[in-house]
Structure 1
Amino acid sequence: MKIYQATTNDIEQVAYLFNLYRQFYHQPSNIDGAVSYIRERLEQKDSTIFIAEMEGSYVGFVQLYPTFSSIAMQKALILNDLFVLEEARKMGIGDILLASAKEHALREGVTRLSLSTAIHNHAAQALYNKHGYERDQDFYHYQLTI
């Protein structure tokens, strides 16, 4: 298995996985939109995507968005997307992608990685707990849909 940072050469394959990821979260399939979105993220360099490739096939990815922590007055990363193809799960790919995200954060001098996951996604919660992520007990997460 190879893990590497995506470039614009990987847009189509990453977009395919990204489209499946969105469907997992009950969004309609939109491969054209996924291609456009991933292309823009990579061309604008406003996210970092690591790909898991196995035997020439893309089997998973993690996408990180830069942000800042006002309290810590330091850079932070949002681990927004983590996805592994269903047939490739339970092979340690999620573990390796999370490790790659952490290594990237350390190289970038980031103070923390934060993420959210669906309440029903118990497999992801177990994976995050295994890697030392702690569920926030001090803050509630709010959202305003515009």
Structure 2
Amino acid sequence: MNYQIKKASIEDLNEAAELFNLYRVFYRQESDVEKGKAFLKERLLNNESDIFLVIADEKAVGFVQLYKLFHYTKLQKQWLLSDLFVHPDYRGKGFSVALIDRSKQWCEETNACGLMLETEKTNDIGNQLYPRCGFEYDGLHNYYHWWK
């Protein structure tokens, strides 16, 4: 299948928001396209994240969203691969791997030391995909969250 990966801009907001909503529903969140759209719009307008879209059949069918972080031992920028999603109708075509490869290329383009990510232990697809793409499981650290 022919496809391309493009860096999303504000003109891609509607398509990105539809995919972002499906992604959030996958993680058991209430469907709310407009709220997700407002969230993505703010990220894009404030240059707070970089989003890449897979375009196939003349529409966006997957995305990855990256946030800038800084690594304390490498003393360099790194990217948090926060969100990765491919529409269920387009899975199994290598689009997730292509988005990860584009994210690695983005590290090169932005002089970042690498990517980090987290996923739920129950995300069987992701937990099989990421090691295949060269990610190493970090069993040495515990990740904690504090929410207000």
TM-score by length of 1: 0.98
**RMSD between aligned alpha carbons?**
0.7
Q: Which residue of 2 aligns with 1:94?
A: 96
Q: Which residue of 1 aligns with 2:13?
A: 11
How do 1:11-30 residues align onto structure 2 when only pairs under 5 Å count?
11-30=13-32
Does structure 1 residue 117 correspond to structure 2 residue 119?
yes
How do 1:1-146 residues align onto structure 2 when only pairs under 5 Å count?
1-146=3-148
Q: What fraction of aligned residue pairs are identical, expressed as a percent?
A: 34
CA deviations on 1:69-124 (whole Å, 9 max, x unpaired) are: 12221101100000000010000000100000000011111112000111111111
Distance 1:45 1:4 in 2: 16
Runs of 4+ that moved beyond 3 A: none
Distance 1:10 1:23 in 2: 20
Query: Does the residue aligned with 1:64 lie in a helix, a strand or coil?
Result: strand
Letter of the 1:131 partner, please give it.
Answer: C
CA deviations on 1:3-33 (whole Å, 9 max, x unpaired) are: 0100010001000100110000000011111
Query: Does the residue aligned with 2:77 lie in a helix, a strand or coil?
Result: strand
Distance 1:6 1:144 in 2: 30
* Runs of 5+ unmatched residues, structure 2: none
Letter of the 2:110 partner, please give it.
Answer: E
Letter of the 1:43 partner, please give it.
Answer: L
TM-score by length of 2: 0.96
CA deviations on 1:13-55 (whole Å, 9 max, x unpaired) are: 0001001100000000111111101111111111000000101
Count matched residues. 146
TM-superposed CA distance for 1:137, in Å, is 2.0
Distance 1:52 1:87 in 2: 13
